[in-house]
Copies of this chain bind each other. A is one copy, B any other.
Amino acid sequence: MTQRVEIVRKILDANERIAAANRALLDENKVFGVNMMSAPGAGKTSVIMETLRRLPHGVRAGVIEGDTAPVTIDADKISALGTPAVQINTSGSCHLDAVMVELGLQKLDLKLLNLAVIENVGNLICPASFDLGTHANIVIASIPEGDDKPYKYPNIYRGLDVLIINKIDLLPYIDFRMDYFTRGIQILNPDIKIFTVSCKSGEGFEGWMSWLMSKIPAKDQLKDL
């Protein structure tokens, strides 16, 4: 299987180069980029929508939506909030890569933006291997997924900057040991920032928004937009 290993290495090397170019492009435009990953149904789109609603006046975001199928369910929700959204259909592939994000960034007017949010395909395994060229890797976990996930899917948590634990409104109805879950995360990644939130009640969003705003670079705002 040497040949296959060699090809996989070349693909990952090429991905790294394009990711670095994506990051340089974002930096040049003073745009902070985030890669939002999660299992299917953990609430990526809901967290992104609540985040967009809470952005202070004058902070402009664009969103790249990764989907395995040609459906625009999530992109339509984002557009309905007045935020530019680009949909990328991976044609069945299980993750976004830096080339797909490069194409997506070309469709956003980065000069006008402060924040680029990339919603990855719902998958706790494959996206972990592909740097997209963002500034922060973020996973959204959710209470119904169960408290054993850091132990069973460790790779995705290792390279993270932020973990958002969503659906805490369901804690009364589900057996979920928060200390067991967060201990598993901190063993893998002692420096990670953890925020617990509910998109239903809005609880916990202040901490996450305050972290996010602290990362967005200063930028002369264009007038007359």
Residues of B contacting A124 with CB < 8 Å?
A: 40, 122-123
Distance in angstroms from A45 CB to nearest chain B CB is 9
Q: Which residues from 173 to 187 on chain A have a C-beta closer than 8 Å to any C-beta of chain B?
A: 173-174
Q: In the bound complex, how far is the Cα of B167 from the Cα of A77, in angstroms?
A: 26
* Listed stretches A24-32, A55-63, A103-111, A149-157; interface member: A149-157
How many interface residues does chain A have, given as a range? 35 or more
In the assembled complex, how far is the CB of residue A24 from the closest CB belonging to chain B, in whole angstroms?
26
With both chains docked as a complex, state the minimum distance between the C-beta of A5 and any C-beta of chain B, in angstroms: 11
Q: Does residue A73 face the partner (Cβ distance < 8 Å to B)?
A: yes
Q: Which residues of A are interface residues toward B (Cβ below 8 A)?
A: 3-4, 7, 11, 39-41, 67-69, 71, 73-74, 92-94, 121-126, 142, 144-146, 148-149, 151-155, 167, 169-170, 173-174
Please name 8 further chain A to chain B contacts, defined as beta carbons within 8 Å, in addition to the given A40-B124, A94-B125, sorted by A numbering: A39-B40, A40-B152, A67-B152, A69-B151, A69-B155, A73-B148, A122-B124, A123-B123
